[in-house]
Structure 1
Amino acid sequence: MKSDSLNKTFPIYAVENDLLISKNGDITVGYKLQLPQIYSLDKVSINRINQLFDKIIRSLPEDTIIQKQDYFFVDKIKEAVTEGDLMLSRSDNKFFYEKPTLSHECYLFITKDSKSKISLTGNTKLYQKYMSEVNDFIKVVNTSISFLTKEEFFVVEALNSNTIIEVLGKYMSLSPKGQESLNDLFFDKQLQVGNKIGEMYAISSYNQLPLSVETTKKNIDFSTQKTDFQIPFIQPICLGLECNHIYNQVIFIENSQKVFSKLKTKLNQFKSLAILSKENEVTYDQIDQLVNNVIENELRFVYQHFNIILWDINEEKLENSKNQLENAFKELSIVPNQIKHSLKDLFLSNIPGACVGIPETYKFIGISEQTPIFLNFESYYQGNKEGILLTDRKNEAPVRLDLWIEPVKRGLIVNRNRLIFGPSGTGKSFLINHIASQYYEQGHHIVMIDIGNSYKKLCNLVKGQYYAYDPDVPLEFNPFHFNHIDEVNNDKKIFLTSLIIFLWKGEDPFKREEKQIIGLYLDAYYETFTKNNDSYPCMSSFYEFVDKNQVMDNEEKYFDKISFQLSLRDFYDGKYSKILNSEKPIDLVHERFIVFEMDNIKDHPILFPLVTMLCIDVVMSKIRKIPEAKKSIFIDECWKPISKGEMAQFIKYLYKTVRKFYGEVAIATQDVEDILDTPAGPAMINNTDTMILLSHKKKMATKDKFAQYLSFSESDLEKLFSTDKREVFVKVGSLSNVYKVSVSPERYACYSSNADENKIIFDTYKKQKNMELALTEFVEKL
């Protein structure tokens, strides 16, 4: 079609005052919708959204047309996905550069059908008359759209004139960036827009649909023997297609009684023919059931039309796209029409605001309750500007998951703590490396307490502090120390009480009176430092203070001082005397990446829990001094020894203190039973709003425990047990989804726990004394 004839045929007269006006006076309001992420909706949510759109359809007046357009574009990543000059940040941009990706945009247009067959182009008065009706129409539309804005599923943005023109350009050019100048169009049995060639398929009759349609269908790939992973019925021809396409969904709201009259006529025709044909009998029964259902439930008859436009610049690629689409239709038992002769009429009448022109032969009767089943309510993963760089599980396109700012703003969580579950071999340390490295790149202060040297490469790469505890040359702490007496607050005393109870009683039970008396001793001990005490606070001076003093009458009835002294003697002047009496405590305020490696003492019943607690207290001292900085503490497997007896109180203290100082605690373990079987388990779960789980396909027996103790819904469980290797299930408050951990070769080399690979890297590191060079050399040999 040449440009001069297109100008005559183009159905839009003007875009004015944020409205589309057709040449016949039809007025259209436009909105951009942000839809839920793919795979995030369960059957309950999908049904709820369908009910929502049924409500919208029934709320709009007669002679209104709802036009929903979903644009899917194939593109390549050109822009940087990570900011910063660090090695791993640079590797992200190199890894994802020009990676094929799919984008999706959804627009909703609501049109007031003028019912006019007179062109406005030469009749100014008629144009002004139609414009005078705009306000009433907009009020009605705004009321209906408010049903969407009140729900958590959608973000709705009204389109202004500039954006409307941009969307028109996208449709007319089949391009993600709308063009203001029109391309040449040709419709000779195949669509041609500039250098693009395309095809159109339409659903315009109930005969093309299966006999029964449910709101959802089972996804075989993600389902297991115990879980059925449900997706929206229409997904295979929407987000399921990995090619350029537009899915047009049009609903004509007309006088329901008139539509019913047409149905009644058809009903009588089929009734008279039923004796001649079994097929007619089935159709009669279907229409009869449909009519009764609408009458009983006060639903609304509508006309509807659906079509898909495919395109590419290459004939062979277009043929592949057609095969994809036809296979998707077969999967849904839908038999579409491939449009040839009416291609021009259908393409032009699906321009936003022009749906009045869709030929009657391409409309078919539906009801408001069932029509939403054919609407698309999903989008690709919506990335955040900040957060962890993961990829979507469908196309492995990069997406950032914000677990820090956005969930708190949205009210999804009240704390940032997280539990990470990863059965052996699923990549738990790999994932934690990935999270920690990115948080470091984004300015967080990172502290990791670990068994197994999982984070040594990363620590060396960022030139952090790596403390590997050696019993022969122990780290020296002093939890009693303070720079100013104001630092001796209630939190510090709670920690010291827990520490002393542990050193005295271990895992044995203790009396409440004993704990209270220790608290009194601590109060009295620190009061001495306000009176020019020459000694410095430490374990030894506290031990001597308890030995020489008494804090209450008849103290011996409740407090066995001899037992106390015998239990703590090793930390006073015995074999562990260096651990708690340092004159120069570790100062970590300015260190942004710190690892405490506990592998050498992991089996020591006293040192392991003690040093773990001391490390955490050092971190607490650090974070109080930098309240404005983001702080992340990762405890990988080391939490078990500090979750028993009095240590359970320490867990509560830890969570409470971190939350007050803009921080998070991420505790990682292999199995949920590890948490449930400890006294601190309930406190950990109750104070954790974010759950991160790697593949549990081999742990199906834990399904009921997740539901019972972690409050996982059936939808959460379907998603969790659908995960495979290098996939991660994330639940933030009430929302959950699955992502992939797809990383650059450099990140893989840095995170990998493969012994042979690590030997090669560390051998190079010993020679070069530079972890970046060691990782680069390893990657170059891959």
Structure 2
Amino acid sequence: MRNTAKAATLESKFPLLTVEDGYILSKDADLSVAYRVELPELFTVTSAEYEAMHSAWLKAIKVLPNYSIVHRQDWFVEEKYKPELDKEDISFLSRSFERHFNERPYLNHTSYLFLTKTTKDRARQQSNFNALTRGFIIPKEMQDREAIQKFIEAVGQFERIINDSGFIRLTRITTDEIVGTALPGDTGAAGIVEKYFSLSQSDTTCLQDITLGAGEMKVGDNYLCLHTLSDTEDLPGKVNTDTRYERLSTDRSDCRLSFAAPVGVLLSCNHVVNQYIFIDDHTENLKRFEKQARNMHSLSRYSRSNQINKEWIEDYLNEAHSYGLTSVRCHVNVMAWSEDKEELGRVKNDVGSQLALMECKPRHNTVDTPTLFWAGIPGNAGDFPAEESFYTFIEQALCFFVAETNYRSSLSPFGIKMVDRLTGKPLHLDISDLPMKKGIITNRNKFVLGPSGSGKSFFMNHLVRQYYEQGAHVVLVDTGNSYQGLCELIHRKTKGEDGIYFTYTEENPISFNPFYTDDYLFDVEKQDSIKTLLLTLWKSEADVITKTESGEVGSAVSDYIRLIRGDRSVRPCFDTFYEFMRDVYRRELDSREIKVSREDFNIDNLLTTLRQYYRGGRFDFLLNSDKELDLLNKRFIVFEIDQIKDNRDLFPVVTIIIMEAFISKMRRLKGIRKQFICEEAWKALSSPNMASYLKYLYKTVRKFFGEAIVVTQEVDDIISSPLVKDAIINNSDCKILLDQRKYMNKFDAIQSMLGLTDKERAQILSINMSNNPNRKYKEVWIGLGGVQSAVYATEVSMCEYLTYTTEETEKLEVMRLAEKLDGDIEMAIKQLAESKQE
């Protein structure tokens, strides 16, 4: 007769009895509570904040009764990015962005905390009495009801202490989340127990075979390897709450990570970090050590090792008594897995090297893998083998907690797509609305600083494109054709209805018509801006404008508006206004009963000065555009003023028209998001004539669902300009900085001017210091109100790159190909992107 090995069922060995009201009850009468842990994001925590988190854990653990177990379980599972291509009206560039990141692998971090109440006998249980070694388990009866009630009360205090810390958030896991909601044949949500047995954090409800062999363990097709820290000989001589991360630190800044980060977010393979803290009877532990110390002393004459052990035990006792430290047992293990045996060898080496970075001795445990895997089942920490733990104090044990997690996306429908600097996973980031709702910022204004070549215009193209696609009205003032590609794409896509690009060339000079509106509506501010424009054309900056002059020009504008409203045959433009002033208003002025003297208002001088803007004059093109454009309803407008920023005649007129266009949007477009972006042009706009406009805009725009953004690259401009300091920086709660290594020696002044903290300084100086060579991106720091800040990557698809690029050769390449394709710039970008990728 052939021998057949009979496999045991999971049901016969399963250690959990029931889950009720969110409490897990094991068959050995251990009671457990499960939490989901939310941790701060990577590279955003300072040394003092790590200390505060450590202190919160310490206070919380001290409220737990004796024979409690604190079990932290951190999952790091490789997942692949799934592009969001099913959205309605997804644009060509958004689609190319999502496709660029399709299937990109990243580590997803999920952290759990299990608090277990067990008994004195269970705490001493060793691996030879584990549930795996018993034929079947007889459920035990819970006897001490008072102890259970105290534990439940302590758990409530534990949760409150941690949540009040402000750095960590514990969320109680419900019964459905523990056991799952899937019925036979149903595709419901998997519980955390099912996820544990399938080595996954996705909704898998199909349990896999578990194979236990000599020196080998498999779960489904995955081979497990286990590294343990279960002996004091394997530990470093000293542990800390945090360590310096050299790759992102400089001699002027310090980037900090938790002590356990090397086996956490920095270990790039599928793995689970388990840490157990066993709270025994502290007094009884110390008595046992006192007895051991006496025994070692009596045996010290026979062996030097006994003498050393006696000194170590006495040092431990002295620490406990001197500083009032609580004696606990601790264990840490890193369980990693892979489907490929060859790959498993690399994973094993990676785990070992990361443990070595913590100055721990990597111990690859092949014997106790099944036992420790079994003890890691949610709520089964009572099955942990006592011989695998070592004695320490709570303070030192807590240093092995993983204290940070990956970057998280904003829980907001509005935002921009950025990229996690470590893993390269796309993130949804809201830097306008959600921070306003949370009270982190009080306005949406932004200040952007980055030297030439740092990717400043590239980032801004990426930002405004996404704002535009989400319904915002964008008005851009530029001095370098940085937005020409994006504007042209929008212009062609909307068949000329949007994407308006104003620039000056000899062949096609810049041209406006401030008197034209689609609906013939001229509110007070529109009339005032026309009046200001005319006064600017008439008077020089040194001249004083009297109330009479201002009033008469305003009256002339009002009378002209009444004329064009009543007689639609009169074409609204500067020419007809000039003719109205010359022929009608001057005659009306002469016929008044109360005469206006030439000293108070010299209309002939006004007409003579404005003659150069009238038909046949030197600048007759400027205010007589025949393109009937009402900028109020155009959602993407670019004013390229590089050619005219030094022209004393044209520039003041253009700047007033720019500001009038945006202020009109700000006032009249109710409930619609508006952006005013001023690139290096702000230096030209900061003339005395325009300073008041910028100050007004920065202080007022937040009340109209708008935001003003100034972009600059020169540090000296910031330091020397009172306008930037008083009006712009003080009213910009969102600050965006790019690579500042060129300004390393000047950064103290920048930090002082922008009011940056030392934490923010360290983040900024870490930009682009450790970029992944396999990815093409540049990093950017975004700070919100001095409360929330992080460094993100600006990584885009090839199609987006060709749209945003400021390299002239690449722009010309796109435009020439578009001409061959009958002006289809989108098709040109697609074809060029495909050829470059090949």
Report if TM-score (shorter chain) is over 0.5.
yes
Please say if residues 444 and 732 of structure 2, whose CA atoms lie closer than 8 Å, have aligned partners that are also in contact: yes
After superposition, residues 70-469 of structure 1 pair within 5 angstroms as 70-80=74-84, 83=87, 84-115=89-120, 126=141, 137-165=151-179, 166-177=191-202, 179-188=204-213, 189-265=215-291, 295=321, 298-384=324-410, 386-463=414-491, 464-469=499-504
SS at match of 1:143: helix
Bigger Cα displacement from structure 2, 428-437 vs 222-231: 222-231
User: 701, 723, 740: which one pairs with 2:793?
Assistant: 740
Please say if residues 18 and 29 of structure 1, whose CA atoms lie closer than 8 Å, have aligned partners that are also in contact: yes
After superposition, residues 711-722 of structure 1 pair within 5 angstroms as 711-722=755-766
- Cα separation, 1, equivalents of 2:298 and 2:534: 89
CA deviation vs aligned residue, 1:3-34 (integer Å, no higher than 9, x gap)? 63533332211122222111112111111122
Please say if residues 761 and 775 of structure 1, whose CA atoms lie closer than 8 Å, have aligned partners that are also in contact: yes
SS at match of 1:339: coil
Sort the Cα spacing of 1:231 and 1:438 in 2 relative to 1 into closer, same or farther, 3 A: same
After superposition, residues 330-729 of structure 1 pair within 5 angstroms as 330-384=356-410, 386-463=414-491, 464-470=499-505, 473-478=509-514, 487-488=523-524, 504=539, 506=541, 569=610, 575-576=618-619, 579=622, 586-682=629-725, 683-724=727-768, 726-729=778-781
Please say if residues 497 and 518 of structure 1, whose CA atoms lie closer than 8 Å, have aligned partners that are also in contact: no
How many residues align? The count is 769
Sort the Cα spacing of 1:505 and 1:18 in 2 relative to 1 into closer, same or farther, 3 A: farther
Task: Tell me the CA shift for residue 103 of structure 1.
Answer: 0.8
Sort the Cα spacing of 1:192 and 1:581 in 2 relative to 1 into closer, same or farther, 3 A: same
Task: Tell me the CA shift for residue 242 of structure 1.
Answer: 0.7
The CA RMSD measured in Å over matched residues stands at 3.9
After superposition, residues 26-37 of structure 1 pair within 5 angstroms as 26-37=30-41
Q: What TM-score, normalized by structure 2, do the two folds share?
A: 0.82
Sort the Cα spacing of 1:607 and 1:185 in 2 relative to 1 into closer, same or farther, 3 A: same
User: 803, 810, 835: which one pairs with 1:757?
Assistant: 810
CA deviation vs aligned residue, 1:197-245 (integer Å, no higher than 9, x gap)? 1111111233222212222222222122322322222111111111000
Sort the Cα spacing of 1:168 and 1:237 in 2 relative to 1 into closer, same or farther, 3 A: same
- Cα separation, 2, equivalents of 1:45 and 1:69: 22
Please say if residues 695 and 728 of structure 1, whose CA atoms lie closer than 8 Å, have aligned partners that are also in contact: yes
- Cα separation, 2, equivalents of 1:103 and 1:180: 19
Please say if residues 27 and 139 of structure 2, whose CA atoms lie closer than 8 Å, have aligned partners that are also in contact: no
Please say if residues 509 and 621 of structure 2, whose CA atoms lie closer than 8 Å, have aligned partners that are also in contact: no
CA deviation vs aligned residue, 1:300-355 (integer Å, no higher than 9, x gap)? 33222111100011111111111111111111110143222222221111211111
CA deviation vs aligned residue, 1:343-393 (integer Å, no higher than 9, x gap)? 222111121111122122222223333332211121111123542222111
Please say if residues 63 and 253 of structure 1, whose CA atoms lie closer than 8 Å, have aligned partners that are also in contact: yes
Equivalent AA in structure 2 for residue 411 of structure 1: G
Task: Tell me the CA shift for residue 502 of structure 1.
Answer: 9.8
Match of 1:779 in 2: 833
Task: Tell me the CA shift for residue 594 of structure 1.
Answer: 1.9
- Cα separation, 2, equivalents of 1:144 and 1:606: 71
Sort the Cα spacing of 1:266 and 1:641 in 2 relative to 1 into closer, same or farther, 3 A: farther
Bigger Cα displacement from structure 2, 152-161 vs 681-690: 152-161
Please say if residues 494 and 653 of structure 1, whose CA atoms lie closer than 8 Å, have aligned partners that are also in contact: no
- Cα separation, 2, equivalents of 1:282 and 1:708: 54
Please say if residues 71 and 274 of structure 2, whose CA atoms lie closer than 8 Å, have aligned partners that are also in contact: yes
- Cα separation, 1, equivalents of 2:812 and 2:268: 41
Equivalent AA in structure 2 for residue 702 of structure 1: K
Please say if residues 445 and 709 of structure 2, whose CA atoms lie closer than 8 Å, have aligned partners that are also in contact: yes
Task: Tell me the CA shift for residue 738 of structure 1.
Answer: 1.1
- Cα separation, 1, equivalents of 2:522 and 2:657: 20
- Cα separation, 2, equivalents of 1:115 and 1:24: 12
Match of 1:552 in 2: none
Equivalent AA in structure 1 for residue 487 of structure 2: C
Bigger Cα displacement from structure 2, 64-73 vs 534-543: 534-543
Please say if residues 13 and 23 of structure 1, whose CA atoms lie closer than 8 Å, have aligned partners that are also in contact: yes
Please say if residues 418 and 688 of structure 1, whose CA atoms lie closer than 8 Å, have aligned partners that are also in contact: yes
- Cα separation, 1, equivalents of 2:63 and 2:316: 21
- Cα separation, 1, equivalents of 2:192 and 2:831: 48
- Cα separation, 1, equivalents of 2:117 and 2:509: 81
- Of structures 1 and 2, the larger Rg is shown by 2
Sort the Cα spacing of 1:135 and 1:765 in 2 relative to 1 into closer, same or farther, 3 A: farther
Please say if residues 481 and 537 of structure 1, whose CA atoms lie closer than 8 Å, have aligned partners that are also in contact: no
Task: Tell me the CA shift for residue 492 of structure 1.
Answer: 7.8
Task: Tell me the CA shift for residue 35 of structure 1.
Answer: 1.8
- Cα separation, 1, equivalents of 2:69 and 2:404: 22
- Cα separation, 1, equivalents of 2:824 and 2:521: 42
- Cα separation, 2, equivalents of 1:605 and 1:217: 58
- Cα separation, 1, equivalents of 2:329 and 2:581: 84
SS at match of 2:818: helix
Please say if residues 74 and 101 of structure 1, whose CA atoms lie closer than 8 Å, have aligned partners that are also in contact: yes
Please say if residues 304 and 363 of structure 1, whose CA atoms lie closer than 8 Å, have aligned partners that are also in contact: yes
Task: Tell me the CA shift for residue 672 of structure 1.
Answer: 3.4
Match of 2:783 in 1: 731
SS at match of 2:247: coil
Task: Tell me the CA shift for residue 749 of structure 1.
Answer: 1.4
Equivalent AA in structure 1 for residue 211 of structure 2: F
Please say if residues 196 and 311 of structure 1, whose CA atoms lie closer than 8 Å, have aligned partners that are also in contact: yes
Q: What TM-score, normalized by structure 1, do the two folds share?
A: 0.88
Task: Tell me the CA shift for residue 590 of structure 1.
Answer: 2.9
Task: Tell me the CA shift for residue 191 of structure 1.
Answer: 2.1
Please say if residues 649 and 680 of structure 1, whose CA atoms lie closer than 8 Å, have aligned partners that are also in contact: no
Unaligned runs of 5+ in 1: 550-554
SS at match of 2:283: helix
Please say if residues 82 and 93 of structure 1, whose CA atoms lie closer than 8 Å, have aligned partners that are also in contact: no
CA deviation vs aligned residue, 1:61-89 (integer Å, no higher than 9, x gap)? 32322211111111222342684432212
SS at match of 2:633: coil
Sort the Cα spacing of 1:59 and 1:566 in 2 relative to 1 into closer, same or farther, 3 A: farther
Equivalent AA in structure 2 for residue 691 of structure 1: K
- Cα separation, 2, equivalents of 1:623 and 1:282: 78
Sort the Cα spacing of 1:470 and 1:63 in 2 relative to 1 into closer, same or farther, 3 A: same
- Cα separation, 1, equivalents of 2:449 and 2:466: 20
Please say if residues 253 and 761 of structure 2, whose CA atoms lie closer than 8 Å, have aligned partners that are also in contact: yes
- Cα separation, 1, equivalents of 2:763 and 2:285: 42
Sort the Cα spacing of 1:400 and 1:253 in 2 relative to 1 into closer, same or farther, 3 A: same
Please say if residues 65 and 151 of structure 2, whose CA atoms lie closer than 8 Å, have aligned partners that are also in contact: no
Sort the Cα spacing of 1:736 and 1:570 in 2 relative to 1 into closer, same or farther, 3 A: farther
- Cα separation, 2, equivalents of 1:615 and 1:761: 29
- Cα separation, 2, equivalents of 1:230 and 1:739: 17
- Cα separation, 2, equivalents of 1:716 and 1:271: 54
- Cα separation, 1, equivalents of 2:219 and 2:460: 48
Please say if residues 328 and 393 of structure 2, whose CA atoms lie closer than 8 Å, have aligned partners that are also in contact: yes
Unaligned runs of 5+ in 2: 126-130, 180-190, 492-498, 591-595, 769-776
Task: Tell me the CA shift for residue 277 of structure 1.
Answer: 9.0
Please say if residues 217 and 232 of structure 1, whose CA atoms lie closer than 8 Å, have aligned partners that are also in contact: yes
Sort the Cα spacing of 1:79 and 1:760 in 2 relative to 1 into closer, same or farther, 3 A: closer
Sort the Cα spacing of 1:121 and 1:321 in 2 relative to 1 into closer, same or farther, 3 A: closer
SS at match of 1:589: helix
Sort the Cα spacing of 1:623 and 1:319 in 2 relative to 1 into closer, same or farther, 3 A: same
